[in-house]
């Protein structure tokens, strides 16, 4: 009998030991690390598809001498150039403007543009570290950096959702974040844009802000506050319209305060003691001070843009053409489509639902909204302090989602604002579902469900990695190199704005127009110089833009008031050969004084001592409808004044010419691999 008791006791100890080991395994931090590594590895594997050589014809035409692709996105060339300048020591600022850049043309004496360069700085540091051990070209570091840096998004998303739910929710959020179609098209191999950081940094900023409000220990609260403040500084150095996230935290603070007014029955002594109210406003004050120090304030234009979609503005004949009308990333996007040929379940660059990860992910997102709403309701009903964190998180995530979804009405590119909260709320739903059914020992079902739901986003990312379209090619590179070798350093290159950053990078010459001159007023005059059939008008506009941007239009508005009248007058002024002739026109026909006339003609007929080079590409021919809209814009109707571009438009005529004209000297004809005319280059005489 005694022996039997000993056996039972020994067996009991064994059971206890096994149970202890299982609990230890479940709480092992190493498992978290392994899951994050697995998520990152999966995302890198998806990127790897883009590293394989394409099998379509003439692929060699789209790669450089190193066998690396010409960049898929023209904006990437701007950040590539700035990375090179950081390496060379010619750029030192993390935030700069057009007026401080020798290779960029100012919009006008009135307008300026701000650029944020954290990505370029980070990659320049990576390049220097790598080259301590082994020589690797800067271009190769740039090309590979997007795929590697973008996968880091798996870390903060996993940490936050895992803290709020469990490992299942954390892993789901990590993979969902890293395969987000709206971002992946700028993350893939061959792209180099700020989007590489614009998921990771906002996540750290907003999540640490939330942790600050719900943390109970003061030391940890201070830690989260510091992390959010550092992330906010990094955000300011990454994105020039960072204010959208600032207003998200400000809006959260205000809404939490308003809710607390009713919750505490307007007892202000109680309200100001609530941590979510007290610390949210403290954080906002800190962010405000940091923005004043780093960028001298918050740019509220993005907030005006978001509010305008709630109450759309009508057409005004005082506006210049909408620069986003023919730009894919700023076109309107419908929510969903069940038409033949569309698949609402796939993750793709189609409709809003597709860009958010597909219909299944959106359904899970709505399930997450219901979960957050239920927990918030339960908190108000029971006053259970353990649910306070759920309530705070619910308010912030829901505000974030609403703001993001409203932003998508401004255009496709703003889907990125909605992707992060949609992913977070969907992951929250998966994590909550796992917690719910794990009680019944069915947690494995939630794991398989989450993995099944991730198949579609992963396939969508893989498809993007494999099918990224090329924007640059050998002919364009050869043209840029020719200009660099055959012009002086102060030469200015005129082309459509899409190519500006490329020529600034490859030719190391100032571009008349680039992605930063994406301004209705500037693009109007650029297009007019191309669509006119009068070479004198064309060359005068190009000289004016190169020297002073669109400053003359603001000056002329003081005298002629409306854009219609201003440009009716300027059209005649541009058609004069000399400044003296233009002055006589303005004084005789429009009764301006000599001083007033000089105020206009000093811009329209500048004296320049540098070369202006016009580059016309074959892809510009496909932009005829867009260039016609901008160049022949009717200020009374808001549409193009002629249905289609005249065949005598300068750039259409010059594209086919291999000889000098009265105002243009032919320099170079370049063909592509199929012997098709690719670029034609002229110098203004």
Distance CA 227, CA 204 (A): 8
For the chain, give the mean pLDDT: 90
Please name the residues in contact with 57: beta carbons below 8 A apart, sequence gap of 6 or more: none
Crossing angle of helices 359-382/388-407, nearest 10°?
Answer: 140
Distance CA 103, CA 355 (A): 35
| The pTM of the whole model exceeds 0.85 | yes
pLDDT digits (tens, 9 = 90+) for 328-343: 777 888 888 888 778 9
Distance CA 365, CA 342 (A): 21
Distance CA 199, CA 185 (A): 13
User: CB of 360 within 8 A of CB of 348?
Assistant: no
What 3-state class would DSSP assign to 342?
coil
Q: How confident is the model at residue 207 (pLDDT cuts 50, 70, 90)?
A: very high
Q: How confident is the model at residue 532 (pLDDT cuts 50, 70, 90)?
A: very high
Q: How confident is the model at residue 190 (pLDDT cuts 50, 70, 90)?
A: confident
pLDDT digits (tens, 9 = 90+) for 420-430: 999 999 999 99
pLDDT at 306 over 70: no
Q: Give the pLDDT confidence score for residue 22 in this predicted structure.
A: 47
Positive/negative CA dihedral, 603, 609, 614, 615 = negative
Of 17 and 180, the structure prediction assigns the larger pLDDT to 180
Please name the residues in contact with 663: beta carbons below 8 A apart, sequence gap of 6 or more: 535, 536, 538, 539, 684, 685
Strand ranges, E, within 263-417:
none
- Nearest-CA neighbor of 419 among 179, 617, 163? 179
CATH class of 474-684: alpha beta
**HSE-CB of 682 using CA atoms within 13 angstroms:** 27
Q: How confident is the model at residue 10 (pLDDT cuts 50, 70, 90)?
A: very low
pLDDT at 16 over 60: no
Crossing angle of helices 243-263/200-214, nearest 10°?
Answer: 20
Please name the residues in contact with 393: beta carbons below 8 A apart, sequence gap of 6 or more: 164, 210, 214, 372
DSSP assignment of 119-130 equals: HHHHHHHHHHHH
Mean per-residue pLDDT for 38-67?
Answer: 78
pLDDT at 119 over 60: yes
């Amino acid at each position: 009998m005694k022996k039997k008791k000993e056996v039972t006791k020994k067996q009991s100890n064994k059971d206890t030991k096994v149970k202890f080991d299982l609990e230890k395994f479940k709480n092992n931090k190493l498992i978290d690390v392994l899951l994050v590594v697995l998520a990152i590895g999966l995302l890198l594997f998806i990127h790897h598809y883009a590293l394989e050589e394409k099998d379509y014809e003439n692929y060699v035409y789209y790669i450089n001498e190193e066998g690396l692709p010409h960049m898929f996105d023209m904006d990437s060339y701007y950040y590539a150039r700035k990375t090179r300048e950081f390496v060379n020591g010619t750029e030192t600022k993390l935030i700069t403007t057009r007026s401080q850049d020798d290779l960029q043309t100012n919009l006008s004496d009135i307008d300026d543009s701000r650029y944020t360069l954290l990505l370029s700085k980070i990659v320049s540091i990576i390049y220097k570290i790598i080259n301590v051990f082994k020589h690797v070209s800067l271009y190769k570091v740039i090309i590979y950096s997007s795929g590697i840096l973008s996968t880091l998004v798996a870390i903060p998303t996993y940490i936050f959702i895992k803290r709020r739910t469990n490992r299942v929710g954390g892993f789901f959020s990590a993979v969902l974040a890293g395969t987000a179609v709206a971002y992946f098209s700028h993350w893939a191999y061959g792209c180099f844009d700020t989007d590489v950081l614009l998921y990771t940094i906002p996540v750290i900023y907003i999540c640490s802000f939330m942790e600050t409000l719900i943390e109970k220990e003061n030391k940890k609260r201070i830690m989260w506050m510091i992390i959010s403040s550092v992330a906010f500084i990094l955000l300011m150095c990454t994105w020039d319209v960072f204010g959208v996230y600032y207003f998200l935290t400000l809006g959260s603070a205000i809404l939490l305060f308003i809710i607390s007014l009713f919750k505490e029955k307007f007892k202000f002594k109680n309200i100001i003691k609530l941590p979510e109210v007290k610390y949210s406003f403290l954080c906002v004050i800190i962010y405000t001070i940091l923005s004043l120090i780093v960028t001298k304030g918050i740019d509220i234009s993005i907030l005006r843009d978001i509010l305008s979609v709630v109450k759309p503005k009508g057409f005004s004949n005082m506006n210049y053409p909408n620069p986003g009308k023919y730009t894919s990333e700023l076109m309107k996007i419908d929510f969903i489509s069940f038409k033949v040929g569309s698949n609402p379940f796939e993750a793709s660059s189609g409709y809003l639902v597709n860009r958010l990860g597909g219909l299944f992910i959106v359904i899970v997102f709505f399930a997450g909204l219901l979960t957050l709403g239920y927990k918030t309701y339960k908190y108000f009903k029971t006053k259970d302090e353990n649910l306070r964190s759920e309530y705070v998180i619910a308010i912030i995530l829901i505000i974030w989602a609403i703001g993001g979804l409203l932003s998508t009405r401004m255009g496709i590119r703003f889907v990125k604002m909605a992707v992060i909260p949609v992913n977070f709320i969907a992951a929250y739903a998966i994590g909550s579902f796992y917690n719910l059914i794990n009680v019944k020992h069915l947690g494995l079902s939630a794991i398989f469900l989450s993995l099944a739901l991730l198949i579609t986003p992963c396939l969508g990312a893989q498809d993007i990695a494999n099918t990224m379209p090329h924007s640059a090619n050998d002919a364009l590179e050869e043209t840029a190199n020719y200009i660099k070798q055959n012009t002086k350093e102060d030469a200015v290159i005129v082309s459509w704005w899409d190519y500006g950053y490329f020529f600034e990078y490859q030719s190391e010459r100032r571009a008349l127009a680039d992605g930063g001159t994406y301004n209705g007023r500037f693009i109007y005059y650029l297009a007019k110089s191309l669509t006119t059939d009068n070479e004198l008008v064309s060359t005068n506009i190009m000289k004016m833009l190169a020297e002073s941007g669109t400053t003359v239009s603001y000056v002329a508005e003081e005298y002629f008031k409306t854009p219609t009248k201003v440009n009716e007058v300027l059209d005649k002024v541009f058609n004069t050969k000399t400044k003296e002739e233009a002055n006589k026109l303005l004084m005789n026909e429009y009764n301006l004084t000599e001083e007033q006339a000089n105020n206009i003609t000093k811009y329209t007929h500048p004296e320049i001592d540098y070369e202006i080079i016009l580059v016309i590409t074959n892809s510009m021919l496909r932009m005829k409808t867009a260039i016609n809209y901008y160049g022949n814009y009717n200020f009374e109707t808001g549409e193009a004044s002629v249905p289609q571009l005249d065949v005598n438009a300068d750039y259409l005529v010059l594209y086919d010419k291999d000889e000098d004209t009265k105002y243009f000297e032919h320099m170079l004809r370049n063909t592509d691999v199929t012997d098709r005319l690719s670029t034609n280059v002229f110098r203004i005489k």
